Amino acid sequence: MSISNQQMFERACQLIPAGVNSPVRAFGSVGGTPPTIARGAGARIWDVEGTEYIDYVGSWGPLIVGHAHLQVVQAVQAAAKLGLSFGAPTEAEVEMAELLTGLVPSVEKVRVVSSGTEATMSAIRLARGFTGRYKIIKFEGCYHGHADALLVKAGSGALTFGRPSSAGVPPEVTAHTLVLDYNDSEMLEATFNEKGSEIAAVIVEPIAGNMNLVKATPEFLQTMRALCTHHGAVLIFDEVMTGFRVGLQGAQGLFGITPDVTTLGKVIGGGMPVGAFGGRSDIMQKIAPLGPVYQAGTLSGNPVALAAGLATLKLVSEPGFFESLSATTSQLVDGLLRIAREANQDFSGQSVGGMFGLYFRAGVPQSFAQVMQADADKFNRFFHHMLDAGIAIAPSAFEAGFVSAAHGQGELERTFDAARKAFSRLQG
């Protein structure tokens, strides 16, 4: 073994704040030293010590076809040989636009950027420019990336570290951000009744994956849709996580609700830096240089990154892809529920397409408050028992999990064996 995880992480911490380039990777809430990953293949990853793990994080969603998929790697290699970036129109960007607008009917026009944060930040600015209003509504526990206006009672890493609202964000900025309770239609309606004429947009994770997995109720989203239409506010579905993860048409396809703007990321990059925002033509026309809302990016639509995204989207578009992925994911959750019941643990879980939520509480949470009632300490102990057994789940009780098309019965059986031991050790 050339170097240990501990030594590697100590090196990282010398020069990188907390040794990571994104907080959720630091194991801050679960404790311990995160393994430094050297490589991945299919459903597996290996750390620098050569230890193998079955991976249920998948880079937080993008690796839906598995690590180092041959067709994805070959597409990236072929694109790279033609040059890495030009800062000029390329065919790959046209192909991506045609694919996204073809697969997501609500997206009539689309712009590609380099991250989910850029997508949501741009969508908010666009909604404000389109309506001439400044207030936005988000929901506690939802995470939409780290743009100033959205780092208010956010989920994901902000929630994991117990600081859902970030320092460094001027109160003048967050004064325009109204934070409501997820799945509370009455609160939403009351807010619109009071401030409807000031509201530029509502941004929502239609299936929340950043306070662990919490499904919106159809009634909540239907109410949201009706209120935005009535008051002239832009409805933004943040599908950075759910897009091409819960189904080919994302959460909007499952609910049958049409947002005005959709933000995308993760899967559409296949592991490379890609985000996108798109929607109604009349709204997208406001984006520079056509309209007055500025938005730009040196590497937006990068052809090598899009090669990974295009190859991934072609694979997920194959007949039966989501049926198979959903079946594997629900088989995973059902197996864990059965094992937890046998161990008399207060434990619940659910899955939607290729994402899942596990909760150390009886009953699946319907709200942020219910998520917070889960036993985070027990989750943290479970996390380490599973990691020690070679099963890598998200290092936070407030994150969803992800299955790839490369996960099969062998991976599930190994996971169930590890879970039996982990749950029995929790009883001690």
Where along the sequence are the contacts to ligand KE4 (CB under 6 A)?
A: 22, 24, 60, 115-117, 120, 143-145, 156-157, 205, 209-210, 238, 240-241, 265, 275, 399
Min CB(425)–ligand KE4 separation in Å: 27
User: Which parts of 103-176 are beta strand (E)?
Assistant: 109-113, 135-139
Min CB(298)–ligand KE4 separation in Å: 16
Spatial contact of 155 and 143, defined as CB atoms under 8 Å apart: yes
Identify whether 289 is preceded by a cis peptide bond (ω within 30 of 0).
Answer: yes
Min CB(165)–ligand KE4 separation in Å: 16
Min CB(81)–ligand KE4 separation in Å: 27
- Residue 131 or 156 with smaller CB distance to ligand KE4: 156
Min CB(227)–ligand KE4 separation in Å: 21
- Residue 72 or 240 with smaller CB distance to ligand KE4: 240
- Show Cβ contacts of residue 411 under 8 Å, excluding neighbours closer than 6 positions: 43, 54
- Residue 145 or 339 with smaller CB distance to ligand KE4: 145
Min CB(309)–ligand KE4 separation in Å: 13
Q: Which amino acids are annotated catalytic?
A: 143, 238, 266
Report how far residue 57's alpha carbon sits from residue 43's, in angstroms, rounded to the nearest whole number: 10
Cα torsion 140, 230, 133, 108 to 10°: value is: 90
Residue showing tokens 């039966």: 320
Beta bridge partners of 43: none
Residue of 316, 321, 379, 324 whose CA lies nearest to 349: 379
Residue of 114, 125, 116 whose CA lies nearest to 149: 125
CB-based closest residue to ligand KE4: 116
Min CB(346)–ligand KE4 separation in Å: 24
The one-letter amino acid code at 8 reads: M
Spatial contact of 74 and 246, defined as CB atoms under 8 Å apart: no
- Residue 20 or 187 with smaller CB distance to ligand KE4: 20
Inter-CA distances, 180 with 68, 169, 267, 305, Å: 40, 19, 28, 36
- Residue 117 or 249 with smaller CB distance to ligand KE4: 117
Residue 410 corresponds to which tokens in the numbers above?
């062998």
Residue 297 corresponds to which tokens in the numbers above?
């990016």
Spatial contact of 352 and 338, defined as CB atoms under 8 Å apart: no
Beta bridge partners of 178: 137
Report how far residue 315's alpha carbon sits from residue 326's, in angstroms, rounded to the nearest whole number: 15
Report how far residue 179's alpha carbon sits from residue 187's, in angstroms, rounded to the nearest whole number: 10
Min CB(122)–ligand KE4 separation in Å: 12
- Residue 9 or 423 with smaller CB distance to ligand KE4: 9
- Residue 203 or 426 with smaller CB distance to ligand KE4: 203
Spatial contact of 322 and 354, defined as CB atoms under 8 Å apart: yes
* CA geometry: angle 207, 120, 122, nearest 5 deg: 155
Residue of 83, 82, 355, 391 whose CA lies nearest to 214: 355
**What stretch of H or E contains 285?**
none
- Residue 145 or 301 with smaller CB distance to ligand KE4: 145
Residue 147 corresponds to which tokens in the numbers above?
């743009």
DSSP state of 42: B
